[in-house]
């Protein structure tokens, strides 16, 4: 796992989920899924604003916040994100099965 305050910029999804669990799990469980989901929605709004008018640094921070809140919810409901992503996307697009999506534009892959 990447250590906090290190110069490394890479962290696996699994390591990130463990890090978020260590930092926040007791608070997250106490808040519950509904309360945590409301925080996620607030962060999505902040990401939308940053995408419209924010600097690249503000956009990076908001993406990180959204990812952290999604990870928090996954922890509360006991979903392993690495496993979920691998199962759904590890063999290609869930719609067409290709690694470069061939689904029609009007379809939601």
Domain range summary for the chain, segments of one domain joined by +: 13-78
pTM of the full structure? 0.84
- pLDDT tens for each residue of 50-78: 999 999 999 999 999 999 999 999 999 99
Q: Which residues of the chain have pLDDT under 70?
A: 1-8, 109
Phi, psi of 98 (to 5 degrees): -95, 155
Class of domain 13-78: mainly alpha
CA distances from 98 to 66, 83, 95 (A): 27, 19, 8
């Amino acid at each position: 796992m990447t250590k906090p305050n290190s110069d490394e910029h890479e962290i696996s999804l699994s390591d990130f989920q463990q890090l978020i669990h260590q930092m926040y799990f007791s608070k997250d469980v106490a808040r519950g899924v509904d309360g945590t989901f409301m925080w996620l929605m607030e962060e999505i709004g902040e990401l939308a604003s940053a995408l419209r008018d924010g600097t690249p640094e503000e956009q990076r921070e908001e993406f990180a916040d959204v990812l952290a809140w999604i990870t928090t919810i996954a922890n509360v409901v006991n979903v392993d994100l690495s496993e979920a992503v691998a199962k759904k996307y590890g063999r290609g697009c869930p719609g067409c099965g290709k690694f470069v999506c061939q689904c029609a534009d009007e379809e939601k892959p």
